[in-house]
């Protein structure tokens, strides 16, 4: 191996011995492996086959696709459950203060959700689900936290003078140790 030109030497790989014997067919097969290549488009641009109208069409399509990707989802605010009212009237299938159950699924796991006043309270595995068959792991049990308000408290807090103040975990630990 030449030490100066070691990067110029390339190892050759073939799919079969027949392809090794026929290098032209191997190169053609390698070129046709992928569907798109920018080479024909670049050649058309260099030869001047693209007129201004075609160029503007392509640029407009690119701008449109880029701007569609930048659209934000509308903000959805979480509000407490009050009553289900429609044009036909009020539905009373949910009694205030009374728990109700419903089945749902997420990530291939069946859930039975116990809910009261529109807030989920307990998640359990659904025995009728064909995949999980009633099994619900720790991550499934913890999924109830994702069903609550994302603006909930993210850390410890203390009430002093009638106001809620955020405190550090270390100060919470010391207050608990003092109380014990």
Fold of 88-147: N-terminal domain of TfIIb (2.20.25)
pTM (global) more than 0.85 = no
CATH 2.20.25.90 in the chain, residue ranges: 88-147
Task: Output phi, psi for 167, to 5 deg.
Answer: -125, 165
- Confidence at residue 146, expressed as pLDDT on a 0 to 100 scale: 67
pLDDT for residue 88: 62
Q: Is 116 exposed, middle or buried (0-12, 13-18, 19+ CB in 10 A)?
A: middle
Q: Which ranges constitute the DSSP H helices of 33-94? A: 39-47, 52-69
d(CA 4, CA 9): 11
User: Which residue numbers in the chain have pLDDT < 70?
Assistant: 1-10, 14, 19, 26, 33-39, 41, 78-96, 118, 145-153
């Amino acid at each position: 191996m030449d030490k100066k030109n070691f990067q110029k030497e390339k190892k050759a790989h073939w799919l079969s011995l027949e392809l090794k014997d026929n290098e032209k067919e191997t190169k053609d097969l390698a070129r046709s492996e992928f569907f798109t290549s920018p080479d024909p488009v670049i050649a058309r641009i260099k030869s001047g086959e693209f007129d201004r109208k075609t160029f503007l069409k392509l640029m407009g399509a690119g701008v449109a696709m880029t701007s569609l990707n930048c659209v934000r989802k509308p903000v959805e605010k979480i509000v407490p459950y009050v009553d289900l009212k429609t044009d036909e009237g009020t539905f009373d299938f949910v009694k205030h203060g009374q728990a109700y159950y419903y089945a749902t699924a997420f990530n291939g796991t069946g859930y039975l959700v116990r809910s009261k006043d529109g807030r989920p309270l307990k998640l359990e595995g659904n025995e009728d689900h064909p995949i999980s068959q009633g099994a619900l792991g720790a991550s499934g049990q913890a999924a109830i936290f994702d069903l609550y308000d994302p603006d909930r408290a993210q850390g410890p807090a203390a009430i002093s003078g009638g106001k809620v103040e955020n405190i550090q975990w270390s100060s919470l630990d010391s207050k608990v140790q003092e109380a014990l």
